[in-house]
Amino acid sequence: MSVAEALTAWSALPRSSGIRAVGIDIVDIERFRAMAERRGQRLVERFFTVNELALCEGTSPRHRASCMAGRIAAKEAVRKALGGHGEGLGWRDVEIGREASGAPVPRLTGRAGEAFRRAGYSGLHVSISHEAGVAVAIAVAD
């Protein structure tokens, strides 16, 4: 299913579905990799928690860039789902972990946790996909 098809399907859901907010973002993997190479460890530490960096370790720079780009997209999708409640969030206030099944799971701390509570959401769900050199993520709050 394409992103457009997924969004069309979502918009057709009845309002009783409990979905209260959606955020989506896309990141060009190669562009992110080049930026990370230019700016180095300082940039990486600005965007990612220690746990996220551990999840993105791998055998190749391509794998790391893809993993990190997906997490950047997911963090931005979460920020968008939080809307005006999420102003001033730091990149590391949203951590994108991984469940035992491999599914991404958002963990909110600091300002992100406060924004989630202010918004009155009860749950937050994230999905990440990689295709054709981009990472796309969607966040759905209920």
Distance separating alpha carbons of residues 52 and 50, to the nearest angstrom: 6
Provide the 8-state DSSP code for 126. Answer: E
Most distant CA atoms of the chain, gap in Å: 47
Q: How many CB atoms lie within 10 A of CB 4?
A: 8
Which parts of the chain sit beneath pLDDT 70? 1-17
Tokens of 31: 């562009």
Q: Which residue has the tokens 């990149």?
A: 91
The total number of residues written for the chain in this structure: 142
Distance from the Cα of residue 118 to its chain's centroid: 20
Global confidence as pTM: 0.85
Residue 115's pLDDT is what?
Answer: 94
